[in-house]
Chain A
Amino acid sequence: DVKVTQSSRYLVKRTGEKVFLECVQDMDHENMFWYRQDPGLGLRLIYFSYDVKMKEKGDIPEGYSVSREKKERFSLILESASTNQTSMYLCASRTGGEDEQYFGPGTRLTVT
């Protein structure tokens, strides 16, 4: 079974803090993704990565950055958290030759 784990289920941070969300997959997948999920907006792609040290902006990259130093780990970074970044963050991975994305359980981030 593919397993995608995220470092925290719930996180509370203050405005202006630097926030790291970690994602690890155990299936040697090349592709990894970060989405945010908001009611009525579905899942929106923040960043994705095709391979180690490679990254590409998604649809809403503003205020976020990412890091992929190892194949199994993809980190989402909020350089200076703001209240409008309060959301559910979902990580996913996919092998390069297939279509199915495997999602982690999500991190609910609250910025106060």
Chain B
Amino acid sequence: GENVEQHPSTLSVQEGDSAVIKCTYSDSASNYFPWYKQELGKGPQLIIDIRSNVGEKKDQRIAVTLNKTAKHFSLHITETQPEDSAVYFCAASRDTGRRALTFGSGTRLQVQP
């Protein structure tokens, strides 16, 4: 089955700096890669996703890049703000069959004001 590894487990940045979280996956047939943000006391919420037919996707201060050859993808947050502080999870799945997500272990991001 799929295995997703995520690094780092914790990340502390100053407000206004950039943050990068990296994930690798094992199943070459995976082609859907979402990122979820979990704030304290809440369930995870989708913030951005990418499919394997594109290499990069941006949404305001958030971007995701995908290198399908190397089987890794990354989340980039620019101009970080205190409200970006949360736990971030990457995930991977195939487009067919059960389409169940395999999640990474999570990254706790702390943005220092």
Instruction: Please state if A105 and B105 are interface contacts (CB–CB under 8 Å).
Output: no
Question: Across the interface, do B43 and A104 meet the contact criterion of CB distance under 8 Å?
Answer: yes
Minimal beta-carbon separation of A7 from chain B (angstroms): 14
Selected contact of B44 from candidates A48, A58, A59, A103, CB within 8 Å:
A103
Stretch of B54-62, B64-72, B96-104 contacting A (4+ beta carbons < 8 Å):
B96-104
Q: Are A103 and B100 in contact (CB-based, < 8 A)?
A: no
CB pair A106–B43 under 8 Å, yes or no, is yes
CA distance in complex: A40, B10 (Å): 10
Closest to A92 in B: B43
Does A44 lie at the interface of the complex (its beta carbon under 8 Å from any beta carbon of B)? yes
Chain A residues within an 8 Å CB radius of B20: none
Q: Is B112's CB within 8 Å of the partner chain A?
A: no
> Do A40 and B9 touch (CB < 8 A)?
yes
Q: Which residue of B lies closest to A40 (CB)?
A: B105
Name the distance in Å between B102's Cβ and chain A's nearest Cβ: 8
| Chain B residues whose CB sits within 8 angstroms of the CB of A62 once the complex forms | none
Contact of B41 among A43, A90, A105 (CB under 8 A): A105
Residues of A bordering B, CB below 8 Å: 4, 33, 35, 40-45, 48, 56, 58-59, 90, 92, 99-101, 103-106
11 sampled A-B residue pairs with Cβ under 8 A: A4-B43, A33-B100, A41-B105, A45-B100, A45-B101, A58-B100, A59-B102, A99-B32, A101-B101, A103-B44, A106-B42
